[in-house]
Chains A and B, each alone.
Chain A
Amino acid sequence: MFDETPLVEIRGLRFGYSGRTIFDGVDIDIQRGKVTAIMGPSGTGKTTLLRLIGGQERPLGGTIRVDGASVPDLPRRKLFELRKRMGMLFQSGALLTDLNVFDNVAFPLREHTALPEIMIRDLVLIKLQAVGLRGARELMPSALSGGMARRVALARAIALDPMLMMYDEPFSGQDPISMGVLVKLIRELNDALGMTTIIVSHDVNETADIADYLYLLSEGKVIEHGTPKRLRQSGSEWTRQFLEGLPDGPVPFHYPAPDFAQELLEFPVS
């Protein structure tokens, strides 16, 4: 029977550093088999949220459970076991620069399985075929474009067939074709491999196109959540400003500053 409990369950999450609050009581549920997007302006801690789910950061308060396990309380060995079932696509791709494309994708397989090399070869070729880069397997990361590097990193992230796939800003800095390829891949991989997907992004249209559910974060809190259709009809001014990309609104265009006319008339004392 299909498990109805959320794969990732975050309750009352608090996190911050250097006196700055990043999250202040955040509740998020990531449903199994769905593509859930976490969106919000730059600097709202979206990437930090992925690092918290992956156990790379420890929360100051609240709970983070992945498949029933409390991530911050897991001993190192158990945490590593859990991470084998998670894939993460970093914004930069984070390919190992001393290995070629093939060896990068083979890396997790060689580290975590005792499969013979012939089988690893087949698995790597299957993953590279899925991202359309089987022909680029001999290339070094320095010879790849940004979009290709991200696709190789994606092939590597799914090498161990994870239950949860996390994408950190997958569309930023991509040309329209690469972006289209990534959008298609993320949705298709989620459905074909039966994964659960979390996308962290501020690219509204691309993300809303493929997401089943959206969370909007700002200033340490969840502002609103729901299906893309429901959020597009939201009455909240903040949500409308964010989703429609309006330059001014509840999030002001200007950084807080004294009165402009007053400041122009003042002579700086040096």
Chain B
Amino acid sequence: MIATLQQLGMWALERLERLGRSHLFILRVAVGLPELLARPGLVVQQIFAIGVLSLPIILVAGLFVGMVLALQLYNTMVNFGAEQSLGPVVALSLVRELGPVVTALLFAGRAGSALAAEIGLMKATEQLSSMEMMAVDPLRRIIAPRFAGGVFAMPMLAAMFSAIGISGGFVVATGLLGVDSNAYWSQMQANVDLFDDVVNGVIKSIVFGIVVTWIAVFEGFDALPTSEGVARATTRTVVNSSLAVLGLDFILTALMFGDNG
């Protein structure tokens, strides 16, 4: 009994210590961010690696999510004679919820895992150590540009996910289900608010971008310098950031839209 409690205590202490370390880590990275203004090329490289290379998976997923959404919602809405409102419902679902959340989950799987593995391998192959010996701080030269690139890329990817999802919904709604195309767009314009819906969705995607990229770069940097350590860091990145996104989504949704009822 005592041994179990001790183990539980040790486990909790280790988790807390790691959490504290990750906060100190991100603080040190944040201190290095202003220096990137003098070297924008480093961030642009990372936006390409993290954002542009994630575009195919984001666009394809967005298209199918929008199309499925239109099909599913139409089947319910037609029972209430509300099928002309399909446009705003698809748009609101995507802009407020599915855009930021699904993009963040895909982002964690595609870009987060790649970041953690890349940084973990740089550590395992002594590249970070050699950089330190060359008097170059890896937190500023390697981590900060990747963090900035991830935080910058995520809201853009979420916006593109929502945009292509709405277009996919339009194709299904008008081409397959016979919804009037003018109604799809005009109802959407009338019912989707720039600040309440779009801006809140963007805020969510920025928060998710920060959290996922933070977890990815920390896990990579904190990985044991072995192949097993890198594998664990990659797995932990995907699992922890997916759970963090879903948990944070609930909190943010409650804060943003919880008082509407």
Contact = CB atoms under 8 A, between A and B. Distances in A.
A97 interface: yes
B133 interface: yes
Contacts of A92: 125-126
A158 to B, nearest CB: 12
Contacts of B129: 56, 90, 94
Contacts of B134: 83-84, 107-108, 111, 156
A20 interface: no
A96 to B, nearest CB: 6
A83 B136 CA distance: 9
A83 B126 CA distance: 16
A95 B122 CA distance: 10
Contacts, number: 47
Nearest to A92: B126
B181 interface: no
B196 interface: no
B135 A84 contact: yes
A54 interface: yes
Interface in A48-95: 54, 56, 80-81, 83-84, 86-88, 90-92, 94-95
Interface in B123-154: 125-127, 129-137, 141
Interface residues of A, number: 22
B126 A94 contact: yes
Contact of A96 (B127, B135, B137): B127
A112 interface: yes
A250 B141 CA distance: 48
A88 B136 contact: no
A87 B130 CA distance: 9
Contacts of B137: 80
Interface residues of B, number: 14
Contacts of B136: 107-108, 111-112
Contacts of A84: 134-135
A156 B133 CA distance: 12
Nearest to B141: A111
Contacts of A153: 130
Contact of B133 (A56, A81, A107, A112): A56
Contacts of A97: 122, 125, 127
A108 B137 CA distance: 12
B139 to A, nearest CB: 11
Interface in B8-59: none
Contacts of A56: 129, 132-133
B133 to A, nearest CB: 4
Interface in A92-139: 92, 94-97, 107-108, 111-112
A69 B45 CA distance: 39
Nearest to A160: B134
Contacts of B126: 90-92, 94
B136 to A, nearest CB: 5
B38 to A, nearest CB: 12
A90 B128 CA distance: 11
Contacts of B130: 88, 90, 94, 153
Contacts of A81: 135
A236 B17 CA distance: 48
Contacts of A96: 127, 131
Nearest to B124: A92
Contacts of B127: 94-97
Contacts of A156: 134
A67 B29 CA distance: 31
B59 to A, nearest CB: 26
Interface in B75-100: none
A106 B227 CA distance: 29
Contacts of B122: 97
B125 A112 contact: no
A94 B135 contact: no
Contacts of B132: 56, 83
A100 to B, nearest CB: 15
7 A-B pairs with least C-beta separation: A94-B130, A94-B126, A83-B135, A80-B135, A88-B133, A84-B135, A108-B134
Interface of B: 122, 125-127, 129-137, 141
Given A84-B135, A90-B126, A90-B130, 17 more contacts: A80-B135, A83-B133, A83-B134, A84-B134, A86-B133, A88-B133, A94-B125, A95-B127, A97-B122, A97-B125, A107-B134, A108-B134, A111-B136, A111-B141, A112-B135, A112-B136, A156-B134
